[in-house]
Amino acid sequence: MKNDTIVVARKSRETDIELKLGLFPGASDIRSGIGFLDHLLTSLAHHAGWTVQLRCRGDLEVDEHHSAEDVAIVLGIAFKEALADRRNPRRFGTAYAPLDEALARAVVDLSGRPWCRIDLGFRRESIGSMATENIGHVLQSFAINAGICLHVDLLKGENDHHRAEAAFKALALALRTALLPLEGIGDDQPGGIGAVREGVAGPLNSTKGRPSIVISRIDEAETGKAR
């Protein structure tokens, strides 16, 4: 298992983001420009056992949506790349996390098939400078770009700050479990699936075996000349 740090840079007219992600414990420094999002992602990194360095310069004069969404996109891309280095992760992870009166459940599948359902039931319009509608959107954007299946449900809770933080802690613990190595399944055994990218390890526990995908491109203009 490799412990590389994945570096992703993404720049658009709305945001300019630089991210470093390591799926190993270390000091994180997260500066998205949105205080509550920094708080949630710092909690995620700490409880997942990750190291995250993030800088985002976004059009906060419009609102925080673009920055929150794009940060989640970049984090998902980095996680997907880091996952390719993992050999035989358990794949599935389930975790519950409380924060005082709040209790959240997260279930993940590192399937390569992106899907997300979030039910947090917020009552406030915003927490700090972050609209509560963007909290679920961050989780969704992360899951889709990471290529994982994610379900997060808030089971109990009155305080929206507690509800949001419990959800991110539950996700962190579920991902931590899903990334643990699964003993006894190797590349040459029925349960091991190799990653799609050639030369990359990262098989996943599945009954499907190792799929082979070949993608080619035909230049129709060149083909016509050859005729």
Residue 75 phi/psi, 5-degree rounding, is -65, -40
Radius of gyration in angstroms for the set of CA atoms belonging to the chain, rounded to a whole number:
19
Tokens matching residue 48: 């997942």
CA distance 10 to 80: 15
Kind and range of the H or E run holding 63 = none
In single-letter form, the type of residue at position 108 comes to: V
Closest by Cα among 135, 118, 148 to 43: 135
The architecture (CATH level 2) of 5-178 comes to: 2-Layer Sandwich (3.30)
DSSP structural state of residue 4? P
- Beta-carbon contacts of 79 under 8 Å, excluding residues fewer than 6 positions away, are 21, 23, 142, 146, 148
Per-residue pLDDT tens, the chain, 227 aa: give them.
Answer: 677 999 999 999 999 999 999 999 999 999 999 999 999 999 999 999 999 999 999 999 999 999 999 999 999 999 999 998 888 899 999 999 999 999 999 999 999 999 999 999 999 999 999 999 999 999 999 999 999 999 999 999 999 999 999 999 999 999 999 999 987 655 444 434 344 444 334 446 666 665 667 878 888 777 666 55
pTM of the shown model: 0.85
CA distance 47 to 50: 8
Furthest-apart CA atoms within the chain: distance in Å: 73
Tokens matching residue 155: 């089971």
Residue keyed to tokens 């995620």: 44
DSSP structural state of residue 89? B
